[in-house]
């Protein structure tokens, strides 16, 4: 029997996620989809709408009817390598931030030492 719930399960398999992860992603309570799949019961339309909104690459027509292509041919997806590049850029930025924080810490120490020296010099000049 080919149902909407089986197609939802197919989306999770294709995405490499669990039903629980999908529930969390769409804002459903834990077990909303998994219980429906287990019991063969219906789910609220709002969950289908959320799935379609969050996963636009999947055809809503296919999800509802089981007909046509699973992947929506009209949706442009971001190439996987752009995420890898972004990740690489993020790593560089994180390293830069770490380096800057280290520099700030060093400058604070230097500032503290200089303030102590200034205080010591003022103390000697006043006496």
Q: Is residue 94 included in any domain, yes or no?
A: yes
Cα dist from 71 to 14, 21, 39, 74, 76, whole Å: 10, 20, 27, 9, 11
Residues 32 and 83 in one domain: no
End-of-domain residue from the set 65, 87, 112: 65
Cα gap 89→95, rounded to integer Å: 10
Each residue's pLDDT tens digit, 29-73: 999 999 999 998 999 999 999 999 999 999 999 999 999 999 987
Both tokens assigned to 93: 């930025």
Average pLDDT, integer, range 81-86: 54
Cα gap 56→72, rounded to integer Å: 7
Residues 82 and 61 in one domain: no
Both tokens assigned to 48: 């289908």
Cα gap 74→70, rounded to integer Å: 12
């Amino acid at each position: 029997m080919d149902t909407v719930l089986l197609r939802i399960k197919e989306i999770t398999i294709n995405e490499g996620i669990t039903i629980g992860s999908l529930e969390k992603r769409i804002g459903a309570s834990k077990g909303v989809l998994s219980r429906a799949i287990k019991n063969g019961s219906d789910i609220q339309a709002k969950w289908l709408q959320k799935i379609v909104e969050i996963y636009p690459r999947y055809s809503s027509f296919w999800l509802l009817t089981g007909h046509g292509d699973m992947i929506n041919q009209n949706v442009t997806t971001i190439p996987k390598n752009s995420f890898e590049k972004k990740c690489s850029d993020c790593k560089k930025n994180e390293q830069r931030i770490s380096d800057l924080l280290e520099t700030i810490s060093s400058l604070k120490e230097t500032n503290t030492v200089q303030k102590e020296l200034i205080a010591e010099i003022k103390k000697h000049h006043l006496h």
